[in-house]
């Protein structure tokens, strides 16, 4: 990484608003010595799981104004894994966190099964404070990529244990079930209680939004749900905090570290909404993620020494804005249909399975008053089928009305947007492989991922 470019980038930030002076400084920059450059102290790495650029367009058109992400767009990332054109979240996070391609389902290991160091470990080795903030189980693939090395992403008991061994300063999300033994209502088969273990390590433990709104200290473990946190569409703000609220609390706690911090913040459930082909829930998840981006950028603007990077691990659902209707290509789609959607498809399934009629559920929770024949067929088939088919069919009724299309209940292989703000942001411009992101962050921060990987393997 050319030091001159880095110095120039920092100059631009320092004299923000005085662009003429900054450009003069760029032209006249003396040969840069590393110690002369102002420090880039902090990194906020935001991962919107499953977010393609269509999801950003949908949010922008729904809101009728630019998103926070829009002003940060600098490039795109390719997402393929070592063994497939379509990555899963495990291989993708290994690329983003460790800078290497690996096989689907593997976390923090190369395809031969050897451990590879990640950005959070590199930050810790330099004395930075660290954090992981998610809305899925915190033992899910994306956060695991910054705190674990396992051959199979489903090894969530091991992931929880490795996460605690890392002594990360702030851990917030769902997934209490993998921290508790079965005797305490959890899923751990080894009978360990990792919440007790965390307390013994000195962690403050919080489990409700109210507790997160009280006095906090580092290290902090917050587990707000047994499983994933509730979809944003269905979330009770009195019970569970929003992603933006968790982001704000985390930045407050980490910003006091004199050495700086590294934090990964994931909009985990954009992916889940899109696995359900649920346009309404996707809109809510996108709003929640974009609010967290706004919180991160306003921190970085105030601070001036913080790099914000955001990129998805892959796209999910094959979301498209515009679709065939009865064999006809219509040049339209209607994001305003989603204004009537006030619950996830799964909440509507629960309402129907506990006695509400399909018509009333679609009227009250999806804002659909008049159902056509094709809607009624989908509804009847869904009700006669299992919960997954009912969820899919309810979501399909809404998507058809909005002319929003989906190609899969899984992931796709398209490029995803790359967003950056702060010192060094210009280095992220262009078409990148997802492995470049870790390399660029490591280069800017002076992290030695290769050296740390060698140490991991020598253990
Ligand atoms: Zn993912």
The string of DSSP letters for 238-250 reads TTS--HHHHHHHH
Where do we find the tokens 């982001």?
Answer: 247
- Mean confidence (pLDDT) of the chain: 93
**pLDDT digit string, tens, across residues 264-274:** 999 999 999 99
Query: Is residue 14 classed as helix, strand or coil in its secondary structure?
Result: helix
> Whole-model pTM?
0.91
CA 145 to ligand 1 center in whole angstroms? 11
Q: What is the pLDDT of residues 26-77, one digit of tens each?
A: 444 444 444 444 479 999 999 999 999 999 999 999 999 999 999 999 999 9
87 CA to centre of ligand 1 in angstroms = 8
Amino acid 459: pLDDT = 83
pLDDT in tens, 246-263: 999 999 999 999 999 999
Sheet of 73-78: strands edge to edge?
A: 204-206, 220-223, 170-174, 129-137, 261-267, 42-48, 306-311, 416-421, 73-78, 430-433
Mean pLDDT along residues 100-113: 98
433-449: pLDDT as tens digits: 999 999 999 999 999 99
**Cβ distance 82 to 103 under 8 Å?**
yes
Residue 420 has pLDDT above 70, yes or no: yes
Residues 6+ apart with CB under 8 A from 17: none
- Give 14's contacts (C-beta < 8 A, 6+ positions apart): 38, 304
Structure tokens of 397?
A: 């009724």
Q: Compute the distance between CA of residue 389 and CA of residue 380 in angstroms, rounded to an integer.
A: 11
CA of 313 to the centre of ligand 1 (A): 5
Q: Ligand 1 centroid vs 436 CA: distance in angstroms?
A: 18
Q: Locate tokens 């913080």: which residue?
A: 306
Instruction: Say how many Å lie between the CA of residue 266 and the centre of ligand 1.
Output: 10
Three-state DSSP class for 309? strand
For 181-236, the pLDDT digits (tens) are 999 999 999 999 999 999 999 999 999 999 999 999 999 999 999 999 999 999 99
The pLDDT, as a whole number, for residue 1 is 41
DSSP 8-state code for residue 338:
G
The Cα–Cα gap between 371 and 363 comes to 9
- Are 453 and 115 a contacting pair, CB within 8 Å? yes
268 is catalytic: no
Express each pLDDT in 123-138 by its tens digit. Answer: 999 999 999 999 999 9
- pLDDT grade for 3, boundaries at 50, 70 and 90: very low
Judge residue 317's burial from the number of C-beta atoms within 10 Å of its C-beta, 0-12 exposed, 13-18 middle, 19 or more buried: buried
For residues 164 and 195, what is the distance between their CA atoms, to the nearest angstrom?
Answer: 10
How far away, in angstroms, is 32 Cα from ligand 1 center? 40
Please give the share of the chain, as a percent, with pLDDT higher than 90. Answer: 91
Rounded to an integer, what is the distance from CA 145 to the centroid of its chain? 12
**314 C-alpha to ligand 1 centroid (Å):** 6
Per-residue pLDDT at 85: 98
CA distances from 438 to 250, 308, 368 (A): 22, 13, 45
Cα-trace Rg, the chain: 22
Among 43, 37, 45, CA closest to 10: 37
Which of 11, 81, 89, 399 is flagged as catalytic?
A: 89
The answer to whether 48 and 319 have CB atoms below 8 angstroms apart is: no
């Amino acid at each position: 990484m050319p030091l001159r470019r880095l110095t120039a980038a920092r100059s631009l930030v320092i004299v923000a608003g005085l662009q003429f002076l900054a450009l003069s400084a760029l032209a006249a920059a003396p040969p840069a010595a590393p110690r002369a450059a102002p420090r880039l102290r902090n990194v906020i790495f935001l991962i919107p799981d499953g977010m393609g650029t269509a999801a950003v367009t949908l949010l922008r058109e729904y809101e009728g104004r630019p998103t926070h992400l829009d002003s940060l767009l600098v490039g795109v990332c390719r997402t393929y894994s070592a063994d497939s054109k379509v990555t899963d979240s495990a291989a993708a996070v290994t690329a983003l966190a460790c800078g290497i391609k690996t096989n689907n389902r593997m976390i923090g290991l190369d395809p031969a099964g050897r451990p590879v160091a990640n950005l959070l470990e590199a930050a810790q080795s330099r004395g930075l404070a660290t954090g992981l903030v998610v809305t899925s189980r915190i033992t899910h693939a994306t956060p695991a990529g910054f705190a674990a090395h396992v051959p199979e992403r489903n090894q969530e008991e091991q992931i929880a244990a490795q996460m605690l061994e890392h002594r990360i300063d702030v851990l917030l999300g769902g997934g209490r079930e993998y921290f508790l033994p079965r005797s305490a209502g959890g899923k751990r088969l080894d009978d360990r209680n990792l919440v007790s273990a965390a307390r013994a390590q000195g962690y403050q433990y919080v489990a409700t939004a109210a507790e997160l709104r009280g006095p906090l200290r580092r290290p902090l473990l917050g587990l707000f749900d047994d499983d994933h946190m509730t979809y944003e569409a269905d979330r009770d703000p009195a019970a569970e905090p929003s992603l933006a609220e968790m982001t704000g609390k985390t930045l407050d706690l980490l910003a006091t570290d004199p050495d700086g911090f590294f934090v990964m913040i994931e909009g985990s459930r954009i992916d889940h909404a899109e696995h359900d082909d649920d346009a309404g829930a996707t809109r809510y998840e996108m709003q929640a993620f974009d609010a967290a981006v706004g919180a991160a950028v306003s921190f970085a603007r105030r601070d001036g020494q913080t790099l914000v990077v955001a990129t998805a691990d892959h796209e999910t659902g094959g979301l498209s804005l515009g679709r065939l209707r009865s064999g006809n290509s219509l040049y339209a789609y209607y994001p305003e249909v989603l204004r009537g959607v006030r619950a996830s498809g799964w909440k509507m399934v629960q309402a129907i399975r506990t006695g509400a009629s399909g018509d009333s559920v679609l009227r009250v929770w999806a804002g659909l008053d008049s159902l056509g024949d094709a809607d009624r067929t989908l509804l009847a088939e869904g009700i006669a089928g299992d919960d997954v088919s009912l969820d899919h069919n309810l979501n399909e009724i809404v998507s058809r009305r909005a002319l929003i299309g989906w190609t899969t209940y899984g992931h796709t292989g398209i490029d995803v947007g790359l967003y950056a703000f702060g010192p060094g942001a210009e280095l992220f411009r262009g078409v990148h492989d997802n492995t470049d992101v870790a390399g660029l962050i490591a280069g800017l921060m002076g992290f030695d991922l290769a050296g740390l990987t060698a140490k991991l393997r020598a253990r």
